[in-house]
Structure 1
Amino acid sequence: MSAEKDLYAVLGASPSDSVQQLRHRYQQLALQFHPDRLRGSSEAESGVKKFLEADAAWRILSDQNTRREYDLQRRAQELKQDWPVDCTVCLEDMTWDEEECVYTYGCRCGGGFSVSEEEVEEETQRRQQEEEEEQKTDGGVVVCCDTCSLSVCVTWSLHRKTQ
Structure 2
Amino acid sequence: MNWELEEASAMLLTCEDSLRKTHYDVLSVKEDASHDEIRASYTVAILDSHPDKFQGKFDAFEPCHELQERFLMVQMAWEILGDINSLAVYDMELKASRQDSEIADDVKFQEMTVEDCGEILELCYQCRCGDYFSVNSTELGEMGFSLEGHGRRELRTINAAPTSVVLPCGSCSLKIRLILYTDS
Structure 1 distance, partners of 2:39, 2:51, is 19
Within the candidate set 9, 16, 21, 2:37 is matched to 21
- Which residue identity does 2:66 align to in structure 1? S
Structure 2 distance, partners of 1:30, 1:8, is 14
Match runs of 1:15-94 below 5 Å: 15-43=31-59, 44-83=64-103, 85=104
Say whether 1:3 aligns with 2:10: yes
Identical amino acids, percent of aligned pairs: 23
Structure 1 distance, partners of 2:32, 2:77, is 15
In structure 2, relative to structure 1, the CA distance for the partners of 1:107 and 1:15 (3 Å cut) is farther
Q: TM-score, normalization: structure 2? A: 0.50
Q: Is the 8 A contact 1:104 1:112 kept in 2?
A: no
Could you say what the CA RMSD is over the residues aligned between the two structures, in angstroms? Answer: 3.2
Within the candidate set 8, 12, 27, 2:28 is matched to 12
Per-residue deviation at 1:56?
A: 0.4
Richer in strand (by share): 2
Q: TM-score, normalization: structure 1? A: 0.56
- Which residue identity does 1:39 align to in structure 2? Q
Structure 1 distance, partners of 2:9, 2:134, is 31
Structure 2 distance, partners of 1:88, 1:65, is 32
Structure 1 distance, partners of 2:81, 2:43, is 13
- Which residue identity does 2:72 align to in structure 1? L
Cα deviation 1:133-153 (Å, max 9, x = unaligned): xxxxxxxxxxx8675725558
| Structure 1 portions without partners, runs of 5+ | 90-101, 114-143, 155-163
How many residues are paired up?
110
Per-residue deviation at 1:88?
A: 9.6
| Structure 2 portions without partners, runs of 5+ | 1-7, 13-21, 116-121, 126-132, 140-166, 169-174, 179-184
- Which residue identity does 1:80 align to in structure 2? D
Richer in helix (by share): 1
Structure 2 distance, partners of 1:104, 1:38, is 62
Per-residue deviation at 1:4?
A: 2.2
In structure 2, relative to structure 1, the CA distance for the partners of 1:88 and 1:108 (3 Å cut) is farther
Per-residue deviation at 1:61?
A: 0.6
Q: Is the 8 A contact 1:7 1:57 kept in 2?
A: yes
In structure 2, relative to structure 1, the CA distance for the partners of 1:77 and 1:107 (3 Å cut) is farther
